[in-house]
Structure 1
């Protein structure tokens, strides 16, 4: 019972009039209509329950176990709300960091496009890409040519063909990754680094 007196800020064993005056003062201070702060509603409910228990005006709330349950539930609600707020703040910070990173990329890309070495770099990058594709195609076709020239050694050519084809497919997949990596720098419009 001592906790209920502490909620209202009165001494233990205070009379009903003192409890009523303390309740009215705190109710005016924490009522949701007068106090827009996020914790005011939970504090007002706690004050109301303490007043009801100490004055015995509400039979439903006069059981200390029910009050403790309500208090635990309100604490859980408060923790859930704080967790949601923290999560939303974390998401906001991540979005802000991604936006700043994207703006930095746009500035750097604009500077890169206006520099003297943009076209030589683009020529070099796409040359590497097309040489990679050409080597991949040659590795795909080379074993087939070997079958025509060395038809007696077909048992030897089958594993060589498999290795060449695996290597060729790996080179093609690397060429695709390389193209995706360089295209934001050399294409007409860069890809966004994040989604809104």
Structure 2
């Protein structure tokens, strides 16, 4: 996490937030960014546990073999191992832990999204922002439809330049309409329209 040895939790939290913002899959689509994000998440959990339990406690206390299931033992063994093991016989267990790690991270991300969005819905400006977004959506959709339909009137004329203009403008208009459809989905997601009210 690019921190000096002995860094305390305030420094660790600040570094963690910066790295998460830099490498989160929603913000960074570069190859390898998601793996770095998972490593940062694992390092933060480790340091958080280290500071909570104390220096004297071992970082990974051995789980009792009788009580733990194979899945739990595999989780403890591979949860911080991001590179495939050298032994091919261990690959299946490692891959299962990697899938579980991704699933848990998705659950955490979704829970954080739900909490953040429900808090945003309580703000006084929420209704204004939502109405403004829909006004922009309506204006953009109407613009795209007009750009796509008006050139058909040019086709009725015999002027070749107008016909050429119509051929260019129709795809542009439909592209704007498609962009507005994507914008509609973004509005639903960012404003949490599908989330239940508290």
Matched position secondary structure for 1:189: coil
Matched ranges for 1:1-196 at <5 A: 79-147=87-155, 151-153=157-159, 155-186=160-191, 188-190=193-195
How many angstroms apart in 2 are the aligned matches of 1:158 and 1:118? 45
Q: Under a length normalisation based on structure 1, what TM-score does the superposition of the two structures give?
A: 0.52
- Is the Cα–Cα contact under 8 Å of residues 188 and 194 in structure 2 kept in the other structure? no
TM-score (norm. length: structure 2): 0.51
Cα drift, residue 88 of structure 1 = 1.0
Moved segments of 4+, more than 4 Å: none
More helix by share: 1
d(CA) in 1 for partners of 2:124, 2:158: 56
Unaligned runs of 5+ in 1: 1-35, 39-77, 191-196
Which ranges in structure 2 are unaligned for 5 or more consecutive residues?
A: 1-67, 71-85
Return the structure number with greater relative CO, CA threshold 8 A, min gap 6. 1
Considering only aligned residues, what root-mean-square deviation do their CA atoms show, in Å?
2.7
Structure 1 CA distance, aligned partners of 2:146 and 2:87? 64
| Closer, same or farther: CA 89–187 of 1 in aligned 2, 3 Å | closer
Aligned to 2:124, the other structure's residue is in SS state: coil
Q: 1:134 to 1:179 in 2, by over 3 A?
A: same
> 1:13: which partner in 2?
none
Question: Which structure: larger Rg?
Answer: 1
Deviations 1:51-100 (A, max 9, x none): xxxxxxxxxxxxxxxxxxxxxxxxxxx93331111111111111111100
